[in-house]
Amino acid sequence: MFVKKITKNEIEIETPAKINLFLEVLNKREDGFHNINSLFQAISLFDNLKFKIQSSPELALKIINNDDLPLNDDNLIVKAFNFMRDKFDLKQGLAVTLDKNIPIAAGLAGGSSDAAATILACNLLFELELTSEGMAGCGLHIGSDLPFFFSSGQALVTGQGEIIEDTTYPVNYELVIVKPSISISTAESYAALKRDLTKQKNPFKLGRCRTVDRYIMSLNGAGNDFEEVHFLSYPEIGKIKDGLLLAGAELARMSGSGPCVFGIFKDLSGNKEGLNIGNENWQKFFVKPIQIVEYC
């Protein structure tokens, strides 16, 4: 996350989306959550949030660029603030303006990223002096993807999402992300996994990859477990993947629980305008992998 502007009472944070370079659902836990094995990568697609302290101990949320997001407790920003207010007995609230650019229900963790930014804003504005690990621990109470946003921006993520191991794989490549005109909830995706999740399988291990060529070749040995169910229910997702590969992507894969699909390209210069994939109403993003700046 990137703190762009900070005063005593106001802060502006630019917070990124993420993709799953691979994603395995290993087994279902006794608490109802699932153990995963995944490589997360932050990308240069951002939401922008402005936070201002207000005297009322509530959160007032305004959203720009998206009319579909709730403003009540179903919004992860509201959930994150309410958790922080109750846990740290905050006497003041926040007025928040969200400029929403990351598509929702897309497999890019935009809601989790916004909630993580809210935890960071509370930490800085209310001088809670939490470490990155402390903020990540708070985030896990809101959602499994939140702890990642307190990492370096590239990490092997296991357990429920709380075990974060920073990695240093190559990032000298570019990405095309395509979102079809559908949205898929995470709960729907897990419910669609019909195979036996009571026994844990052996997780994929990426190993050492010093070059981007070796990295991409190794990533091709993994996958995304949600593809097997979503390609049947939503054939357009498979068409996007095929289209990205035909356009020259070194690897194409659905991110998270979908429906966004990313393609990895070693060089997109001069090719963006000619990249014609699928329906003209589908959203396309040209992004790069990034690091996340640590603030605590």
The active-site residue, picked from 18, 50, 100, 179, is 18
- Look at residue 67 and tell me if it is in a domain: yes
Give yes or no for a contact between 237 and 261, defined as CB atoms under 8 angstroms apart: yes
Q: Where are the beta strands (DSSP E) in 65-127?
A: 93-99
Asked whether residue 88 falls in the same domain as residue 211, the answer is no
**Final residue of a structural domain among 137, 166, 195:** 166
Do 116 and 33 belong together in one domain? yes
Tokens describing residue 165: 């191991």
Residue type, 265: F
Domain boundary among 104, 131, 166: 166
What's the whole-model pTM score? Answer: 0.93
**pLDDT tens track for 168-221:** 999 999 999 999 988 887 777 777 776 555 566 789 999 889 999 999 999 999
CB 10 within 8 A of CB 32: no
Q: Is the separation of the CB atoms in 92 and 53 below 8 Å?
A: yes
The domain of 18 spans: 2-166
Residue 198: predicted pLDDT: 58
Decide if 209 is inside a domain.
yes
The verdict on 41 and 123 lying in the same domain is yes
Q: Which of 47, 114, 145, 225 is catalytic?
A: 145
Please tell me whether residues 147 and 254 are part of one structural domain.
no
Shared domain for 148 and 183, answered yes or no, is no
In the chain, the number of structural domains is 2
Q: Is 18 a catalytic residue?
A: yes
Q: What's the pLDDT score for residue 131?
A: 96
> Could you tell me if 157 and 249 lie in one domain?
no
The pLDDT, as a whole number, for residue 202 is 84
177 DSSP β-pair partners? 262, 285
Note whether residue 296 is domain-resident.
no
In angstroms, what CA-CA distances link 288 with 2, 94, 265?
16, 32, 10
In 3-state terms, the chain is what percent helix, strand and coil (to 5)?
Answer: 25, 30, 45
Taking the C-alpha atoms of residue 261 and residue 203, their distance in angstroms, rounded to an integer, is: 22
Q: Is 86 a catalytic residue?
A: no
Same domain, 25 and 127: yes
Residue 126: its pLDDT value, please?
A: 97
Judge if 204 and 245 occupy the same domain: yes
Q: What are the mean pLDDT values of the chain's consecutive 10-residue runs (296 residues total)?
A: 89 97 88 88 98 96 88 93 98 98 95 98 96 96 95 96 95 96 80 64 88 96 92 92 93 95 89 70 93 70
Q: How crowded is residue 74: how many other Cβ atoms within 10 Å of its Cβ?
A: 10
**147/230 same-domain check:** no
